[in-house]
Amino acid sequence: NGWHGAAVKKSIPGGPVEDFIMQAHVTCKSKNINEMGRVEIAILDENSKVLSKIAMNDLYWQAEQNFGTMVIGYDNKPGKTGLIYESGDYPNTWNQYYGRLWIARTGNDWEAYISKFLPGTEKDDAERFARWTDKDSKHMEKAAQIQISIMQWQDVPPVEAMTVSDLKFWKVNLNNQNTPPYIVDVGDKVVIDTESSHVSIEGKNAINIKDIFSNFPVINKGTNKLEIIPSDIGTAKVTYRERFR
């Protein structure tokens, strides 16, 4: 009865962790309107209880309508809080879903983000962001494990395509001295690929350093002004390549 299916969990390397960011690329695409399914990623504490979970769901057997959900706390836990429960801007916004599920906690601040990629890309498009402060500190357990679940509802046909790929988990080291974060060294080459939404430093993927809610730079025809912060960092050389010729 209810939701059932396959699940796998793994301990977080270097864990348990207090402050973190988790993101994954998720697919939830029905072939027929009578299919139901859920792709869920849960962050578990040291006692294997749900600290937080985020999911993309097809909840109706009468119609295709994907719902994104994000919850903090396990069932019946005092202070359990839901940050996202919706289908996006319209009832069909997240249908045929391939996109990003994202959870972050720093201190007692929680953030949730769900986006659907533009077709044929991994660029965030139809999106929803939510932030909440756990003022009573009811959800401060350390993150110890990640659990992935792919489920169907009772005996209703499952959603045809449900996948999790490119799951990443980062430990966040809080900067308490109000000093600029140290990201690059002298001579480092930073590549920003706005076509593929990719950032690398010395050839190493660095997309986790980019603020997920910041924008990639846009080079317009004519004179452009690019600022590097802090201004006294030294001299930087910037080159760009046109997308089309």
- What tens digit of pLDDT does each residue of 57-112 get? 999 988 899 999 999 999 999 999 999 999 999 999 999 999 999 999 999 999 99
Q: Which range marks the domain in which residue 30 is found? A: 3-171
Residue type, 24: A
- Within this chain, do residues 24 and 132 fall inside the same structural domain, yes or no? yes
**How many alpha carbons fall within 13 Å on the CB side of residue 123?**
12
- Within this chain, do residues 113 and 228 fall inside the same structural domain, yes or no? no
What the block records as the tokens of 220 is 């317009």
CA-to-CA distance for 183 and 71, rounded, in angstroms?
A: 32
CA-to-CA distance for 208 and 31, rounded, in angstroms?
A: 33
- Within this chain, do residues 94 and 75 fall inside the same structural domain, yes or no? yes
Residue type, 103: I
- Within this chain, do residues 22 and 107 fall inside the same structural domain, yes or no? yes
What the block records as the tokens of 118 is 């533009």
Q: How far is CA 151 from CA 38, 185, 228, in A?
A: 5, 46, 47
Cβ(108)–Cβ(59) below 8 Å: no
- Within this chain, do residues 164 and 195 fall inside the same structural domain, yes or no? no
**Binning pLDDT at 50, 70 and 90, where does residue 205 land?**
low
Interval 101-145: pLDDT, tens = 999 999 999 999 999 998 988 888 888 999 999 999 999 999 999
CA-to-CA distance for 152 and 5, rounded, in angstroms?
A: 6
- Within this chain, do residues 166 and 200 fall inside the same structural domain, yes or no? no
- Within this chain, do residues 143 and 207 fall inside the same structural domain, yes or no? no
